[in-house]
Amino acid sequence: MFRLKSTPLSLFASPCAFHPVAKRSFASSAIMADTKAFFEVQYAPVGSSAPKVGRINFNLFEEKVPKTAKNFRELCKLPKGQGYKDSSFHRVIPQFMLQGGDFTHHNGTGGRSIYGEKFADENFIFKHDRPGLLSMANAGPNTNGSQFFITTVVTSWLDGKHVVFGEVADAKSMEVVKEIEALGSSSGSIRSATKPTIVNCGEI
């Protein structure tokens, strides 16, 4: 129900190459975050059967997108079954994005916001103009719940359709995102017996 809408596979292979982490200055972002959150994600990197836990820190743009950022932040603090804790990244497409946040059905058909089942698109101030952005997945206009995605390339075709409300905060966090991205496939299925799972999360 709360799914990032399908995009033609030709767009997944478009020349929006990933900007190497070493060349991106996370500290010099022109966007100031009011709040921060984190995920600790358990996953098994490509070539390994041994799970590891990696941390992803987020800057949330709560000044400009307060309702959407608050929804994410509060869901990070709720217990298992009521928020993101122990939910998984159910859809991962290399050279596109990581999608998660379905803590009710765990397959991309569920989820729930802190405001109820759905809430409206707050604004489209921020564009999908770089890797590492945090944006809301939806099933069409004004259908935001708890599902989100993290971009791994420029995804400008999503501008005006999905609400950007945060970003990956630092290069080390982006390295974790890239390791999880490598477990995905063009269909979105996870190529690992260990589904990337948020074992801990909260506000910083």
Strand partners, 149: 99, 135
Out of 103, 149, 165, 183, the active site residue is 149
Out of 91, 133, 148, 165, the active site residue is 91
Instruction: Based on the residue annotation, tell me whether 99 is a catalytic residue of this protein.
Output: yes
Phi, psi of 21 (to 5 degrees): -55, -40
Instruction: Based on the residue annotation, tell me whether 9 is a catalytic residue of this protein.
Output: no
**123/120 Cα distance (integer angstroms):** 9
Instruction: Based on the residue annotation, tell me whether 144 is a catalytic residue of this protein.
Output: no
Out of 89, 162, 165, 183, the active site residue is 162
**Do residues 132 and 150 touch, judged by C-beta distance below 8 A?**
yes
Out of 99, 112, 144, 147, the active site residue is 99
Out of 4, 133, 134, 158, the active site residue is 158
Instruction: Based on the residue annotation, tell me whether 147 is a catalytic residue of this protein.
Output: no
**203/37 Cα distance (integer angstroms):** 4
Out of 138, 144, 147, 148, the active site residue is 138
Instruction: Based on the residue annotation, tell me whether 128 is a catalytic residue of this protein.
Output: no
Strand partners, 57: 38
**Do residues 97 and 151 touch, judged by C-beta distance below 8 A?**
yes
Out of 38, 58, 72, 96, the active site residue is 96
Phi, psi of 56 (to 5 degrees): -115, 115
- Tokens, residue 148: 């989100």
What positions carry a catalytic annotation? 91, 96, 99, 138, 149, 158, 162
